[in-house]
Amino acid sequence: MALNALKDSPKDPKPWWESAIVYQIYPRSFKDTNGDGVGDLRGILEGLDYLKSLHVGCLWLSPVFPSPMRDFGYDVKDYEGIDPLFGTLEDFDTLLTATHQLGMKLILDLVPNHTSDQHPWFIESRSDRDHDKRDWYVWRDPGMAGAPPNNWLSFFGGPAWTLDSASGQYYLHQFDSTQPELNYRHPAVLEAMLDNIRFWLERGVDGFRIDVIWLLIKDAWLRDEPLNPNWDGSNPHEQLLHIYTADQPEVHQIIRSFRALFDQYGERLIVGEIDLPPENLMAYYGLAGDECQLPFNFSLIHTPFEAQILRQTVRDYEARLPAGAWPNWVLGNHDRPRLATRIGAPKARLAQLLLLTLRGTPTCYYGDELGMLNGSIPKERIKDPQAINQPEVGEWIGRDPQRTPLPWTKGPNRGFAPPGADPWLPVGDETATPSIETQSRDLSSFLHFFRSLSALRQSEAALMKGDYREIAIDHDDIMAYERSFADQRFLIILHFGGTPVTVPLQDPEIPLKLRLSTHPRSIAASLDSPLTLAGYEGVILQYPISPMKGRRP
């Protein structure tokens, strides 16, 4: 499949998202400036210099729109405003301008699949079975004996249907019962959502991450979903195979309509949240490159951090990419346990090295640049509806631990909120994750490593946009690959085992230069072959540039 719109051409320079590092900010937990315990837009403004120092090029803000905050902003009651908790539209404009002045982009989080039940559209829809907005949502009569219309399940536990006793009908919601799903089979819904998008594009936002874009349209006949024969008994939502609530063929037309609008404004980005394996994911680039420029690739989230499995994961994803499509990689987000908790602290640096040297746009989750761990949340402070609605499985399914405040300093409230404020989630202590202040002073810190890595990536075309080639090194715990562009060539070697290992380099005659290691090493040191790597060490090595222009040694 050829993606005409994405074709490489010297006259047509690559769009900005092919070189930028994307950084996800969960605004509630970034920085609180007014002392209400919740992060705000002014906090992000104050943090811009820090963000710039990470060499990230695009900030993605989880939702900041007016919301009852039942799902912390993923339940929108007004798509064209800013929740007072976060600030004002004026604060937003100030932030956008300041971000642009620093040479960074800003994208927002669009939640088009569902609204809050407080959104005027739903209030009207619910008010009367004959209201002209009734069909903006998915309403159905009860099934047998008053049961829900079909067997669909909510991600947040229980049926995906709630009975509205006033009208005697059920409405559909795949998340909380306060998040009714819009009906994209009704043309006015799409038009209304396009108007909301236009509002922000006119204001100058550089794009959107689009929430659960692969769920936007459901089976027209609302057929029951089959049982999942491989269900492991843990997450109740996985009892069914989601063949009628997700990834429906009609979704692509909706995404194309979004994209056509974005394209009217120049280089505006759609990052699609799509939790599908690579074989289903690729369709979301669009047959003519006319859907998402970056359909989120969650394969590193689902893959165990072992060298041979990772190698296969990258090979499989790269092999399936349509011609001209640009890859992307993600390690974590606000829905998944923190990287350093999930794979263990020793491997967390390796994972960042992998993320920032693979071919494609990397997305970093706030705090992962510090090696931040999951916070511990006492039962009485659990906030996440996914946990609250499912007390039987809630503790492990809850997402609060990965959403705790960013630790700026060692001081009161770790500098996240003014002294005396009561942060919405516990701030964690310095021994678990040392603060930005502490790590900035320590040359062996995670943060120092991250900054060196992101600086190197952004300064070397081969790392930023070069070709990827797997290198065979005969050791189960080693993954190696080359990145090359014009006459530059880098060799990346990642060692996922815990004990030192000796790696034979392909051609010992060629003097390789060590550009970066996950471990403290003297960068000036010349490299000996065979190369000895410590447990969980990863390195970026550079080949010398051939004296004969354009030729590789």
* Closer by beta carbon to ligand NOJ, 22 or else 111: 111
C-alpha to C-alpha distance for 101 and 158, rounded to whole angstroms: 47
Helices (H), 358-440: 385-388, 394-397, 436-440
- CA distances 220 to 8, 115, 172, 185, 248, Å, are 39, 20, 13, 8, 10
Site string for Ca ion, 37-56 (x = CB under 5 A): -x-x----------------
**Chain position whose Cβ is nearest to ligand NOJ:** 74
Give which of Ca ion, ligand NOJ, none residue 359 binds (C-beta under 5 to 8 Å, depending on kind). Answer: none
Rounded to whole angstroms, the Cα distance separating 401 from 331 reads: 16
Q: Does 34 bind Ca ion (CB under 5 A)?
A: yes
Footprint (CB under 6 A) of ligand NOJ, residues 244-283: 273
Backbone angles phi, psi at 23, to 5 degrees: -125, 120
Q: Which does 38 bind (CB under 5 to 8 A by kind): ligand NOJ, Ca ion, none?
A: Ca ion
| Total site size for Ca ion, rule CB under 5 A | 5
Q: How far is the CB of 421 from Ca ion (least distance, A)?
A: 8
Could you tell me which residues come within 8 angstroms of residue 441 by beta carbon, excluding any fewer than 6 positions away? none
Of these partners, Ca ion, ligand NOJ, none, which one is at the site of residue 34 (CB under 5 to 8 Å by kind)? Answer: Ca ion
Measured from the CB atom, is 417 or 463 closer to Ca ion? 417
- Answer yes or no: 273 catalytic: yes
C-alpha–C-alpha distance, residues 327 and 325, integer Å:
6
- For Ca ion, the closer of residues 32 and 247 by Cβ is 32
Residue 244 contact partner, candidates ligand NOJ, Ca ion, none, CB within 5 to 8 A by sort of partner: none
Among ligand NOJ, Ca ion, none, what does residue 335 contact (CB within 5–8 Å per kind)? ligand NOJ
State which of residues 74, 296, 298, 481 lies at the interface with ligand NOJ (CB under 6 A). 74
Beta bridge partners of 470: 481
Catalytic member of 109, 273, 369, 537: 273
Looking only at Cα atoms, what is the longest distance across the chain?
81
Q: Tell me, rounded to whole angstroms, the distance of Cα 129 from its chain centroid.
A: 38
The CB-of-373 to ligand NOJ minimum distance in angstroms stands at 20
- The amino acid at residue 206 is D
Q: Is the peptide bond before 544 cis (omega within 30 degrees of 0)?
A: no
Catalytic residue among 176, 181, 211, 291: 211
How buried is 441 (Cβ within 10 angstroms: 0-12 exposed, 13-18 middle, 19+ buried)? exposed
Q: Which is nearer to ligand NOJ, 274 or 462 (CB)?
A: 274
Neighbours of 509 (CB within 10 A): 8
Is 400 noted as a catalytic residue in this protein?
no
Count of residues of this chain found to bind ligand NOJ when the rule CB under 6 A is applied? 9
Q: How many CB atoms lie within 10 A of CB 395?
A: 13
334 interacts with ligand NOJ by CB under 6 A: yes
Pick one of 6, 25, 212, 480: the residue that binds ligand NOJ (CB under 6 A): 212
Q: How far is the CB of 273 from ligand NOJ (least distance, A)?
A: 6
| CA-based nearest residue to 104, from 203, 12, 29, 19 | 19
CB of 111 to ligand NOJ, least distance (A): 5
Contact call for residues 179 and 114 (beta carbons, < 8 A): yes
Of residues 32 and 71, the one with the C-beta less far from ligand NOJ: 71
Backbone region of residue 168 per phi and psi (left: phi > 0; alpha: psi in -120 to 50; beta: other values): left
Q: Which lies closer to Ca ion via its Cβ, residue 34 or residue 445?
A: 34
- Output Rg (C-alpha) for the chain, integer angstroms: 24
Residues that bind Ca ion (CB under 5 A): 32, 34, 36, 38, 40
Which residues carry out catalysis? 211, 273
Residues that bind ligand NOJ (CB under 6 A): 71, 74, 111, 175, 211-212, 273, 334-335
